[in-house]
Structure 1
Amino acid sequence: MYLHTELLINEIANDEPDPAAANALQEGLGGQFGEMRTMMQYLFQSMNFRGDAAAKPYKDLLQGVGTEEISHVELIGTTIARLLDGAPGYSGKKTDPVDAPGAKGATPLTIAKDTGNIHHFLVGAQGALPVDAAGNPWSGSYVYNSGNLVLDLLYNLMLESTGRLQKCRIYEMTDNKAARSTIAYLIVRDQAHENAFAKALESLGVNWGKVLPIPKTNAEAFPEVKKLVDQGLQSIQYTFSADNKSEADKLYRGASPSNDGTELTTEFMPSGGEPITIAPERREEFSPGLDPELLALIQATAEEEIRQSDRPAGS
């Protein structure tokens, strides 16, 4: 059972809409090494897990990381939507600013023709899509679940390493503060997950460092990343175990495999969080929210049902 808290796992910095940055982030969402892939891969591995009681810490670790990946999908998807929301009024193109949809005779959706992914406007009404940066749909064939614990953990370590590498590249592609705040957070959490799978492999006697060394990206050079690393966020893993039955702490402990001098620890879930807000309607996309007349009918129906339920039996 999964419970949802109406908080984003990390704050998204405020900046102007940027459809091109939104499209680059699509790779981190729906690409082969993106957040949709990690979420589905770890959850399927945990659901399909087999073994006796001694194997439970491994299942719990996969479950905890997979659950966190759900929040990463929510975070990166929301960031993409914010980078797109209001994009017709994008004023970052200094040579030809458009202050508002239709201003000075401009076509409201003109920016969609030559910036980013046109499907963000044609199909998604300025929202995230389950695709990569080239527009290819996300595929379930990305998910690797061999049933062999060592193979799965090795593959997971490779997946996190490749995902972190790609996010470092995306960071270098844009200076948009909203995009970078999310990218930086995911870079650090990818490192935490690399630590998780590396520790699990070590407990199984696998000398993973010689087989699959974690690539050095020097992402700490990015100021947003350094701030989070200085807080030790790369060395914490969340269990999301509401009944406190997770045994992931049997694996996620001791010196960090990143060799950064930190000790690994587990926590139930992140503290704090960023309130989730609902974006305004986009009239130029013909995507209004609730129809006022329909909403009034629903409210009237609900009030009548309440009156009926409050009547004494047999009346």
Structure 2
Amino acid sequence: MFMHVQRLINEIVPDEPDPAAANALQEGLGGQFGEMRTMMQYLFQAFNFRGATGKPYRDLLYGVGTEEIAHVELIATTISRLLDGSPQYKGKATKPVDEPGKGGATPLSIALDHSNIHHYLVGAQGALPVDAAGNPWSGSYVYNSGNLVLDLLYNLMLESTGRLQKCRIYEMTDNKTARATIAYLIVRDQAHENAYAKALESLGINWGATLPIPKTNAEQFPEVKKLLDQGLHLKQYTFSADNLSEAGKIYRGTAPASMDGGELTTQTAPEGFPMDIAVERPEEFGPGLDPELLALVQATAELELKDADDPLVAAKKK
């Protein structure tokens, strides 16, 4: 059973809209090595886990998989913010919408010139479950062999590849909104590499001579270094509201030397950051509640409050 806390796992730093950066981030969301893949892969491995004696490993998969849900939320919201208002359409007093030959403005003209046109055609300036080329996310990406060692090795490789791709995306943009999210995900990928590496070591697997690949030296990115200095790569969240997770039996001790060392710790969940709701986009015909609907909602609420205060109505309900 999962619960949603209305806070983002990392802050979305404000900056100018950037549709091109939004499209690059789609790879980190819906690509073969993106956040939708890691979320589904780890959760399905946890759902299908067998053997009660292996509970700490199942709980580790559940904890990382649940965090990946928050990563999907974060990166999708970031993409939406990078697209939100990007046409910068203010309209004109006389001709707010284009009429051929009349000099009006074209509200969504930017969609023809910037990256993924589907962000505007079908997404209403929001994220889509696709990669950067527009290919739909596929469940065939998910690897769940039923063999714990194979799954852990594959997961370690997946986190390494995901971190590589995010480092590339970081190099593609200087947008503060994009880079803040990318840097956070780079560091959390390293934390998850630590998780799967320690799990493999606890099973006697000597993985360190080969993985992780590549050595990205991501600490060269200022936003990443700041998070590494805070030790974010050495924490793993259990998201266990009832404190029954045994993931701490694995995620403890010193991180592998190839992962920069340091003491590993677990905690229930991060504090998170406030969430807001994007403004209406009338040019996308997605304005939220129009005045008539809003009036109806308010009238209904007032009627329900009046009934709640009426003792006769309350008595009839009993």
Give the alignment's TM-score, normalised by structure 2.
0.91
Q: Structure 1's 100 and 146: CA in aligned 2 closer, same or farther, altered over 3 A?
A: same
Q: Structure 1's 313 and 27: CA in aligned 2 closer, same or farther, altered over 3 A?
A: same
Is the Cα–Cα contact under 8 Å of residues 152 and 199 in structure 2 kept in the other structure? yes
Superposition pairs for residues 55-94 of structure 1, below 5 Å?
Answer: 55-89=54-88
Deviation at 1:299, TM superposition (A): 3.4
Number of the residue aligned with 1:205: 204
Cα distance in 2 between the residues matched to 1:266 and 1:312 = 48
Q: In structure 1, what residue type is equivalent to 2:16?
A: E
Is the Cα–Cα contact under 8 Å of residues 239 and 268 in structure 2 kept in the other structure? yes
Q: Structure 1's 293 and 210: CA in aligned 2 closer, same or farther, altered over 3 A?
A: same
Deviation at 1:302, TM superposition (A): 4.1
Q: CA RMSD in A?
A: 1.8
Is the Cα–Cα contact under 8 Å of residues 88 and 101 in structure 1 kept in the other structure? no
3-state SS in 2 of match to 1:153: helix
Cα distance in 1 between the residues matched to 2:293 and 2:106 = 31
3-state SS in 2 of match to 1:299: helix
3-state SS in 1 of match to 2:201: helix
Farther-moved stretch of structure 1 (101-110 vs 65-74)? 101-110
Number of the residue aligned with 2:128: 129
Deviation at 1:160, TM superposition (A): 0.4
Which structure 2 segments of 5+ residues have no match?
A: 97-102
Give the alignment's TM-score, normalised by structure 1.
0.92
Farther-moved stretch of structure 1 (208-217 vs 147-156)? 208-217
Deviation at 1:305, TM superposition (A): 4.3
Number of the residue aligned with 2:251: 252
Cα distance in 2 between the residues matched to 1:314 and 1:83 = 52
Q: Deviations over 1:29-52 (max 9, x none)?
A: 000000000001111111111102
Q: In structure 2, what residue type is equivalent to 1:276?
A: M
Is the Cα–Cα contact under 8 Å of residues 57 and 251 in structure 1 kept in the other structure? yes
Matched, 1:20 2:20: yes
Q: In structure 1, what residue type is equivalent to 2:28?
A: G
Matched, 1:313 2:315: yes
Deviation at 1:212, TM superposition (A): 3.6
Q: Deviations over 1:243-286 (max 9, x none)?
A: 11111010001111244231111111113x22111111111111
Cα distance in 1 between the residues matched to 2:230 and 2:307 = 56
Is the Cα–Cα contact under 8 Å of residues 152 and 196 in structure 2 kept in the other structure? yes
Number of the residue aligned with 1:154: 153
Number of the residue aligned with 1:94: none
Q: In structure 2, what residue type is equivalent to 1:168?
A: C
Which structure 1 segments of 5+ residues have no match?
A: 90-98
Superposition pairs for residues 31-50 of structure 1, below 5 Å?
Answer: 31-50=31-50
Number of the residue aligned with 1:230: 229
Matched, 1:3 2:3: yes
**Paired positions, count:** 304
Number of the residue aligned with 2:99: none
Q: Deviations over 1:129-165 (max 9, x none)?
A: 0000000000111111111111111110011000000
Deviation at 1:65, TM superposition (A): 0.2
Deviation at 1:105, TM superposition (A): 4.7
Number of the residue aligned with 2:107: 108
Q: Deviations over 1:201-235 (max 9, x none)?
A: 11111111235444200100000000000111011
Cα distance in 2 between the residues matched to 1:221 and 1:63 = 31
